[in-house]
Amino acid sequence: MNITANRVTRLSEDDLGALCEAATAAILGGGGFGWLEPPPRNVLERYFQGLLLVPEASLFIVRESGVIQGAAVLTRPSRHNEVQAMSAHISGFHVAPYMRGRGLGHALLADVVDYARGTGCRVLNCDIRETQSQAIALFRTFGFEEWGTHPYYARVHGETVRGLYLVKLLDADGALNRETHATTGKDTASVTQLRRDGLMLYPAIDLKGGACVRLRRGDMEDATHYSDDPAAQARSFVDAGCRHLHVVDLDGAFAGQSANIDAVKAIVKASSVPVQLGGGIRDIAAIERWLDAGVARVILGSVAVKNPDLVRQASRAFPGRIVAGIDARDGRVATEGWAEISDITAIDLACRMEDAGVAAIIFTEISRDGMLEGLDLEQTSALADAVSLPVIASGGVGSVTHLQALRSVARRSPGIRGVIVGRALYDGRVSVQEALAALEVA
């Protein structure tokens, strides 16, 4: 039994047929949609094809042995809805009744939750008919909590059915949770949930001249070549179990504008997981182009120092999809592909970026990057404790022990939410499976 789940941006004729068949069975089984009886096949086809055209909606499917057997929709607020930009809503969640009890629902929901977290979502909502006990139980195993009921939620075959409203907090150390704790007194529950979730692994794909390389300490003259096929490298990471990808256009970082455009587009097309991209993105037009091209999050580095107003503008225009990349040498922020060192400290810039509204921060200690000697845990922890944003650690991972050490520090500094690993994966010092296991909660 081979079960896979992923986000899709297109559907073949066979996939569309299988999806409609699973949806029809789910409707007949009494769950997953607002329909009481299956609509005509062409209506279902137009429904799913239409979802793929909605910018705020993401369609996820789950397969067994290559055949689609269920789906779910994740919807983010429009870019103009700033007050709810941190949230997303799950709907249309279903698995064909004849395929239930095999783990497909678990795989599907896991992929939706991971994608939501990877795109900067902090609050995940869903509402379910009270009669759908299996779905409710599944969501609860993922840490969703019931916060309310609707006594007149639905009418099913002449009877009124109550609805349950569920929520899961994805950023347990965030400002939102601090406000919640202040009003409810629940000061530890969400942190416990975060620790249960583990840290996210972001395998790095650094691009130079269209190829995958790794630098030492940010030196373009000290690059190790690994692959001429970035898309194949991306697929190998995803096939190994990675649910996020971290891509940097190194040529773009030094040139001040995107350079490895074709390679990045190939990676996005080949990947079914969120891709975050940095390097040479310096204006709103470039940000919008990459987001429209399928990039989940854009990383702003040098521009965060030199044009903070742009960061603020982008964070407002694309809520949840802007990440600040803070690269430092001995605590001082570096810019222009790490070629220049500023007078701003990493923590000062992190606080400014939090005020600007970014979704997360990536912190890299340049002196350790590519050296395989371990992360700068002290600086990473101090920065994570200074802000209420998710922090992704980077620079220096060379062994499973280094990842385990980060996991240990994250228990004390729960703002640390993930880690970028590059050379150690390419050199075989750490396998993807070992990295994922090390980042899970013991």
Please indicate, yes or no, whether residues 58 and 112 belong to a single structural domain of this protein.
yes
Model confidence at 256: pLDDT above 50 = yes
Single pTM value for the model: 0.66
Percent of the chain beyond pLDDT 90?
A: 57
Please indicate, yes or no, whether residues 129 and 239 belong to a single structural domain of this protein.
no
Please indicate, yes or no, whether residues 47 and 124 belong to a single structural domain of this protein.
yes
Model confidence at 181: pLDDT above 90 = no
Please indicate, yes or no, whether residues 19 and 107 belong to a single structural domain of this protein.
yes
pLDDT of the residue at 105? 92
Sheet containing 57-64: which strands, arranged edge to edge?
3-8, 57-64, 67-75, 87-95, 123-129, 159-169, 145-156
Residue 327 is among the residues annotated as catalytic for this protein: yes
Please indicate, yes or no, whether residues 159 and 218 belong to a single structural domain of this protein.
no
Please indicate, yes or no, whether residues 284 and 163 belong to a single structural domain of this protein.
no
**170 and 200 in contact (C-beta within 8 Å)?**
no
pLDDT of the residue at 397? 95
Which is the catalytic residue, given 173, 327, 369, 376?
A: 327
Residue 178 lies in a domain: no
Q: Which of 20-34, 98-112, 208-222 has the lowest mean pLDDT?
A: 208-222
What is the average per-residue pLDDT within 37-58? 92
Please indicate, yes or no, whether residues 425 and 284 belong to a single structural domain of this protein.
yes
Domain end position, chosen among 170, 186, 219 = 170
Residue 206 is among the residues annotated as catalytic for this protein: yes
Please indicate, yes or no, whether residues 153 and 49 belong to a single structural domain of this protein.
yes
Task: Express each pLDDT in 401-432 by its tens digit.
Answer: 999 999 999 989 988 999 999 999 999 999 99
Residue 405 lies in a domain: yes
What is the average per-residue pLDDT within 142-169? 90
Please indicate, yes or no, whether residues 396 and 301 belong to a single structural domain of this protein.
yes
Range from 107-111, 251-255, 437-441 that averages highest in pLDDT: 107-111
Q: What is the CATH number of the domain that holds 403?
A: 3.20.20.70
Q: Which two tokens stand for residue 169?
A: 């907090």
Residue 177 lies in a domain: no
Q: What is the CATH number of the domain that holds 103?
A: 3.40.630.30
Contacts of 12 (CB under 8 A, 6+ apart): none
Please indicate, yes or no, whether residues 97 and 134 belong to a single structural domain of this protein.
yes
Residue 72 lies in a domain: yes
Q: Which of 304-318, 325-339, 355-369, 371-385 has the lowest mean pLDDT?
A: 325-339
Residue 356 lies in a domain: yes
Which residue's structure tokens are 């406000």?
Answer: 179
Q: Which of 243-252, 406-415, 433-442 has the lowest mean pLDDT?
A: 433-442
Residue 82 lies in a domain: yes
Domain end position, chosen among 170, 187, 211 = 170
Please indicate, yes or no, whether residues 209 and 354 belong to a single structural domain of this protein.
yes
Residues in the chain: 442
Residue numbers of the domain that contains 23: 3-170
Confidence of residue 190 (pLDDT cuts 50, 70, 90): very low
pLDDT of the residue at 305? 86
**CA–CA gap between residue 77 and residue 87 (Å, rounded):** 7
Residue 186 lies in a domain: no
Domain end position, chosen among 170, 190, 206 = 170
Number of folded domains that form the chain:
2
Please indicate, yes or no, whether residues 106 and 56 belong to a single structural domain of this protein.
yes
**Residue 201: CB atoms within 10 Å:** 23
User: Exposure pattern of 398-417 as b/e (b: 16+ CB <10 Å)?
Assistant: bbbebbebbbebbeebbbbb
Confidence of residue 134 (pLDDT cuts 50, 70, 90): confident
Which is the catalytic residue, given 111, 197, 206, 369?
A: 206
Residue 284 lies in a domain: yes
